[in-house]
Amino acid sequence: MEKLIEIIKKKPSLRYPRLDTILMIEEFIKENDGEYKKKQLWENLPRKMMYQTFSIALDYLLISGKISVDSEGKIGWIFYPKEAQERLKQARLIWKRPHDKKTL
């Protein structure tokens, strides 16, 4: 969260995204996972918005660990908490702390 505050301070803006705008961007990225680069994503959103507002919303999603950008610059959704919990419950996967010295 501190990184987000630093970015906002460096990019003074008159337009900050509302919650419904961020949720709309999240849904669009989930549906089009890894298909668009930043500008293409902005151009294809269901609702139009200022590019500056869009950039701030993407910065938030990137810093919060919900999206990632691959080597080609395409944006993908990476936040799947339910699936991660299910995988951790599987018997073949075991969470091991770094200080645990037992071997399996």
Domains of the chain, with CATH numbers? 2-89 (1.10.10.10)
Alpha helices in the chain (DSSP H): 2-10, 19-31, 38-43, 51-63, 81-89
Confidence class of residue 11 from pLDDT cuts 50, 70 and 90? low
Sign of CA dihedral 57, 38, 40, 28: negative
Please tell me whether the overall predicted TM-score, pTM, comes out greater than 0.75 for this model: no
80 in Cβ contact with 44 (< 8 Å): no
11 in Cβ contact with 56 (< 8 Å): yes
Q: What is the pLDDT of residues 16-72, one digit of tens each?
A: 899 999 999 999 999 999 999 999 999 999 999 999 999 999 999 999 889 999 999
